[in-house]
Structure 1
């Protein structure tokens, strides 16, 4: 046998061994889902979107299917573009899909790692959730706070009537006032309230800097050790300034509650309920303090976005507004404002709020992390991977919602023998054990603002120099998405409506 023949046989044998080893490896390590092709070593670092990432992720879904895969510097990322897949993974297997990835910038450096949205899955996380469930776990639990919401929303109507061109500021003020009362029993001043100022700075900084991957330190955690003066380390200064604001927002209102309790004059609130009749350890005190901040930070900015979206929709879709007002006029009448007691009698308003939550998605994507290796639909999901449900696409999926770009509250009403379409609240507040614990509070605030505002205000497009101005639908990027600032005309519907608004609260 010639040397050449021996070499050929050896090659064939080695090739056969290679195929066999590949087969064994494939069985033990199932393939990843399809996704954009990456570069050696750095992976998909050029493919990860930072501006409105949900749009790019939706394109991935069309190209690669319900689950797509990317990697950046060894970090595996799985994007879910299907509500069914998200439920199967994040709800049904929540025991392993409820972790959060470590986010060096906003979590560790900015200080948000001490709040519930950033907590790793474990005992601390469960303690926080227990606190939330005790105070806000159901609509029934929120009944005690309904008078606060109704009073502050009446004040909102007065502010809008007086200065309708400052709508967004009024929404922020009122939402902050409600959440500060519920969290801490703190009643804000009408103007120049110091705590409102800190709160607005906290929310603004979080909205601008909290998206994972916006800073390279999120992919290279070792950069966190670089000194602030080092070229390119400007993120360290941003993080330091933001951390000061976060620490103030956690400490100042919490001290207010404690001082009020010592004086015996504390109002009922989330914090006072957790503090009363208890001697807390240092760890328990820390959990109550940061639980309260978690409630505030999670609820305030998201609710602002949803309510602002409601006014944008009323500006753009006058026919919807007229139907909603006709229902209020028929059920509530002109002599009083709607209240929570009317909620079950106003199905169109209920459907309208659902459509607002679906149409302009407040949190388009959210990050989970998996604590164990998993196989889903034959795909390998390694421990520690980042899982991103694309909530925006799920709420705009034409297979779930007919003509999703159309604003149509009637999709949520049973009509002509057709079942209502999927309630967006089953998707927009998250999944599994990471479901937003303040969802009932947010839902109630949006509903009440919509019902009261429609009862007394007419909302329409602004006319400038004889030209009607149509607002642009262009939601912002970032962890929390807001409608692009817009102009609208807001006027009392009648003299009687104006009188209702001016009544003492």
Structure 2
């Protein structure tokens, strides 16, 4: 029933279709009326987008139409830069996503905001707190304390690696966003973020919900055949509301009691009488920071451990560099960063090898455009295929191989292109937390390698090789895997177990 409602809507659109001033880019041909509904992938869409790019992509743009909604997939960095950077004045909007934005309730976070005044106010707030190395330096002690606690947890229970990574990412971002110190086990705010962000990834996956292409379906009741998405949205909305309100109310209570530590939220509230709208902006700015940092970094650091399990020679080379520069008597700190180029290259390679946001987040074009002779109508969704950009064999030699040396000057050979200009998005919608994400990843990397040997697990005399299999979703995670994590020496154990005091 729901499908035929959509076809009816599409028929009406076809009747009023206007003549286009230039052709669309090539793409799969589609069917009458419904277009490419059957072509839109639900599992690892970036792989299908890559195939489209190879088959139809002489202009590096592929085009599909779903029930009247135009989607353009960008498969090259050059095209993404030309459109999303150089023409950012018209390519910086966001599409209205009825499922995740309107029904689930994410529409107030930075990633969903239309380009305009509220968006600029969020960005300005972020820039003050995490937009420069100087601003971030205030939070270096928090990062170092929480990363040290992470090492202790991993040493004690290495089989719970993924939970420890998630706990630490949540601890760092909640201290920065809300001044909240997480509990040692099963922290309610960390668990809340995990649930909410898993729902976010599922709700925003390209092509996952028909309502994103036929917004009128949002009005159908839950009991209507095929409207199970409405029940999901209601349940997910409750989680989003709690994620926005619970830590914000914690800060306000702490401020009222005069015991609130300095944080993004307290700095925005302190000494000001806010209007309802300003209060709302602070609350959702903080959610954007908390949500943005609580999941993406988890994927990156888990990928680091996967890479070190699979590439022991890379690990040994990094450890030799750390041993030479830092020595065995202390843990590495941010002060060592400039002296550890190979470790820095590992961080870059983790960003490239594991595309955390494989299809980015769709942009929306604010007015009709002609690009390279092709028509891009107003309101179209623009999807950068970030996974392929980071795995294009013409850009990165043997892209499936984890090889940090690609980012170093070797025998006069130029380094391969910097992945951070791709991995964090494009134009005015580039991730505002990229410096924080890089800093967290670097510190976890250097400290883990300084004290741990990471290797394959041996079970019943058989070495288990983990599979490289990223999950589907807007935020992609490596498939859970087993690895052996052991302290490198008695001295390493002593460093890990010393009191955390910075």
Q: State the TM-score, normalizing by the size of structure 2.
A: 0.94
Which SS does the other structure have where 1:395 is aligned?
helix
Deviates most, 431-440 or 402-411: 402-411
Q: Match for residue 16 of structure 1?
A: none
- Written as runs of structure 1 = structure 2, the 5 A alignment for 1:278-357 is 278-357=272-351
Partner Cα distance (1:392, 1:365) in 2: 7
Query: Which of 353, 378, 382 is the matching residue for 1:383?
Result: 378
Matching of residue 222 in structure 1 with residue 222 in structure 2: no
Which SS does the other structure have where 1:87 is aligned?
helix
- Written as runs of structure 1 = structure 2, the 5 A alignment for 1:220-259 is 220-259=214-253
Which SS does the other structure have where 2:268 is aligned?
helix
Query: Which of 55, 80, 95 is the matching residue for 1:63?
Result: 55
Matching of residue 153 in structure 1 with residue 147 in structure 2: yes
Which SS does the other structure have where 2:359 is aligned?
coil
Matching of residue 109 in structure 1 with residue 106 in structure 2: no
Q: Is the CA contact (8 Å cut-off) linking 2:45 and 2:206 kept in structure 1?
A: no
Q: Match for residue 403 of structure 1?
A: 398
| 1:445 shift after superposition | 0.4
Which SS does the other structure have where 1:351 is aligned?
helix
Q: Match for residue 38 of structure 1?
A: 30
**Residue 28 to residue 471, structure 1, CA distance change in 2 (3 Å):** closer
Matching of residue 432 in structure 1 with residue 423 in structure 2: no
Matching of residue 444 in structure 1 with residue 436 in structure 2: no
Matching of residue 465 in structure 1 with residue 457 in structure 2: no
Partner Cα distance (1:398, 1:97) in 2: 27
| 1:192 shift after superposition | 3.0
Partner Cα distance (1:480, 1:194) in 2: 22
| 1:27 shift after superposition | 11
How many residue pairs match? The answer is 481
Partner Cα distance (1:417, 1:69) in 2: 40
Which SS does the other structure have where 2:80 is aligned?
helix
Matching of residue 126 in structure 1 with residue 153 in structure 2: no
Which SS does the other structure have where 1:37 is aligned?
coil
Query: Which of 71, 74, 78 is the matching residue for 2:68?
Result: 74
Q: Is the CA contact (8 Å cut-off) linking 1:308 and 1:483 kept in structure 2?
A: yes
Matching of residue 488 in structure 1 with residue 483 in structure 2: yes
Q: Is the CA contact (8 Å cut-off) linking 1:103 and 1:212 kept in structure 2?
A: no
The Cα offsets for residues 179-236 of structure 1, whole Å up to 9 and x where unpaired, read as: 1101000001112322222222112222233213211111111111111122221111
Which SS does the other structure have where 2:474 is aligned?
coil
Q: Is the CA contact (8 Å cut-off) linking 2:20 and 2:375 kept in structure 1?
A: no
| 1:247 shift after superposition | 0.6
| 1:430 shift after superposition | 0.2
Q: Is the CA contact (8 Å cut-off) linking 1:212 and 1:218 kept in structure 2?
A: no
Where in structure 1 do 4 or more consecutive aligned residues deviate above 2 Å?
Answer: 207-210
Matching of residue 100 in structure 1 with residue 94 in structure 2: yes
Partner Cα distance (2:473, 2:211) in 1: 17
RMSD: 1.3
Q: Match for residue 266 of structure 1?
A: 260
Structure of higher CA gyration radius = 1
Which SS does the other structure have where 1:458 is aligned?
strand
Q: Match for residue 11 of structure 1?
A: none
Q: State the TM-score, normalizing by the size of structure 1.
A: 0.94
Q: Match for residue 361 of structure 1?
A: 355
Deviates most, 250-259 or 342-351: 250-259
Partner Cα distance (1:76, 1:473) in 2: 33
Which SS does the other structure have where 1:79 is aligned?
strand
Which SS does the other structure have where 1:95 is aligned?
helix
Q: Match for residue 371 of structure 1?
A: 366
Partner Cα distance (1:64, 1:448) in 2: 42
Q: Is the CA contact (8 Å cut-off) linking 1:179 and 1:300 kept in structure 2?
A: yes
Q: Match for residue 20 of structure 1?
A: none
Partner Cα distance (2:403, 2:80) in 1: 25
